[in-house]
Amino acid sequence: MRLLRVVMPAAALESLSDRLTEDPEVEFWQVWEVKSRFSDGHAFASVADRVAGYTPRVCFEILTSNGHVDELVQLFSTCPMCVRGGGMYWTMDVGTTGEF
d(CA 44, CA 55): 8
- In Å, what is the CA distance from 85 to each residue of 8, 24, 36? 7, 27, 12
Q: What is the mean pLDDT of each run of 10 residues along the chain (100 residues)?
A: 90 86 95 73 58 75 94 84 72 90
Domain ranges for the chain, please list them.
Answer: 2-93
| pTM across the whole model | 0.77
Right CATH for 2-93 from 3.40.720.10, 3.30.70.120, 3.40.50.2300, 3.50.50.60: 3.30.70.120
Q: Which residues pair with 88 in a beta bridge?
A: 7
